[in-house]
Amino acid sequence: MAASISEVAKHAGVSVGTVSNVLNRPELVAPETRERVLRSIESLDFVRNESARALRAGSTRTIGLVVLDVANPYFTDVARGVEQVADENDMVVTLCNSAEDTKREDRHLQHLEEQRVRGVLITPVTEQCPRLEPMIARGIPGVLVDRGSGQPNRCSVAVDDRMGGRLAGAHLIDQGHRRLGFVGGPMSIRQVSDRHAGMRDAIEATKGLPRLRLFEQASLSIQCGREAGQQFDGLSERRRPTAVFCANDLLALGFLQEMTRQGLRVPHDIAIVGYDDIVYAGAAAIALSSVRQPREQLGRAAAELLIEEIGDDGSHRHRQVVFEPELIVRDSSVTK
């Protein structure tokens, strides 16, 4: 349907090679000819066929980004960072959503490889992603996002979750709390257990060893936050924690909602700190304190590592970049 380069050539009275040159190296073409060709392109509605281009040239200008959940603000921010760097390097990003399903992840990786993308940024569904290894072996570099502690054979970017847990724990202890709670789960997710471990670190660094009670949840959802809150309801006032650290903001929002429903005042009766600092954390009726990860920066760094690896002249060394999170203190954790 769309015109091809040879029709443009015929229309402009030149050879196909010349049209290609107008497209790719216009400085090689005499200005007058160039103009004529451009006019033909215009009038024939020519659109370059990327498949043919990629086939002949042997490579695309695309990188793949496979995330666990496009609806999660965490990943959309990472994606924003990736896109910025891609733009700067004149590359385009294909965003894929694995929806935490290894089947979908597999299909996407397969498709990306068939498309001959130059590289892939991925947060694999499981800690070990079987498709990734052979892909890297075939020469398509892959950078792990928020994964891959101790994989020296590839690049990765991550945020120090244990440190995030320490920040949250230390803050609550600082505020005078001695009966603490941790809401989160499943503990099989590294991020969750790291955040928990970080909180333990903070406790062990404190005289008198504050008590920590674990409220393990099935997932990191708002609903589970509510359920954690209901578990609270059964505890006597003397025994229940005066402060909780939630493994992410969804849990914290659900928990906060349930506290309000039970008539407990936040932060007076119970202090709350979340994790991720999603926009809705600051927008909660009682603005939520939260541990912020440099998400956009994470995406930028990942993309930069990948692009360095793509344009490798032999000097590339795999690196594991770890960022530090930051505690944002708001109303939900400080009694004035």
Q: Which residues bind DNA (CB under 7 A)?
A: 4-6, 13-21, 23-24, 28-30, 32-34, 46, 48-49, 52-53, 55-58
Quick note: the x/- pattern for a copy of itself over 257-276, rule CB under 8 A, is x--x----------------
Comparison of 76 and 89: residue with beta carbon closer to a copy of itself = 76
Q: Which does 6 bind (CB under 5 to 8 A by kind): DNA, a copy of itself, none?
A: DNA
CA dihedral 301, 307, 308, 310 (to 10 degrees): 150
Binder among 4, 10, 23, 95 for a copy of itself (CB under 8 A): 95
* Shortest separation between residue 243's beta carbon and a copy of itself, angstroms: 18
Q: State the sign of the Cα–Cα–Cα–Cα dihedral 183, 252, 148, 199.
A: negative
Comparison of 16 and 328: residue with beta carbon closer to DNA = 16
Footprint on residues 206-245 left by a copy of itself (CB under 8 A): 222
H/E element, 156: strand 155-159
Pick from 310, 318, 302: which is nearest to 59 by CA?
310
Residue 334 near a copy of itself by CB under 8 A: no
**Residues 192 and 159: beta-carbon distance below 8 Å:** no
**Residues 121 and 82: beta-carbon distance below 8 Å:** yes
Pick from 210, 209, 215: which is nearest to 235 by CA?
215
Comparison of 56 and 336: residue with beta carbon closer to DNA = 56
Q: Which does 282 bind (CB under 5 to 8 A by kind): DNA, a copy of itself, none?
A: a copy of itself
Comparison of 6 and 149: residue with beta carbon closer to DNA = 6
* Shortest separation between residue 40's beta carbon and DNA, angstroms: 12
Instruction: Give me the DSSP letters along 97-118.
Output: E-TT-HHHHHHHHHHHHHTT-S
**Residues 288 and 274: beta-carbon distance below 8 Å:** yes
C-alpha–C-alpha distance, residues 220 and 331, integer Å:
22
Scanning 92-100, 160-168, 210-218, 229-237 for contacts with a copy of itself by CB under 8 A, the matching segment is: 92-100
Pick from 250, 243, 293: which is nearest to 273 by CA?
243
Scanning 21-29, 70-78, 195-203, 268-276 for contacts with a copy of itself by CB under 8 A, the matching segment is: 70-78
Comparison of 16 and 214: residue with beta carbon closer to DNA = 16
**Residues 145 and 78: beta-carbon distance below 8 Å:** yes
C-alpha–C-alpha distance, residues 271 and 262, integer Å:
14
Site size toward a copy of itself (CB under 8 A) is: 51
**Residues 303 and 86: beta-carbon distance below 8 Å:** yes
Q: Which does 5 bind (CB under 5 to 8 A by kind): a copy of itself, DNA, none?
A: DNA
Using CB under 8 A as the criterion, which residues of the chain lie in contact with a copy of itself when the complex forms? 1-2, 45, 47-55, 60, 70-71, 73, 76-77, 79-80, 83, 92, 94-97, 110-111, 113-116, 134, 137-139, 222, 250, 253-254, 256-257, 260, 279-280, 282-287
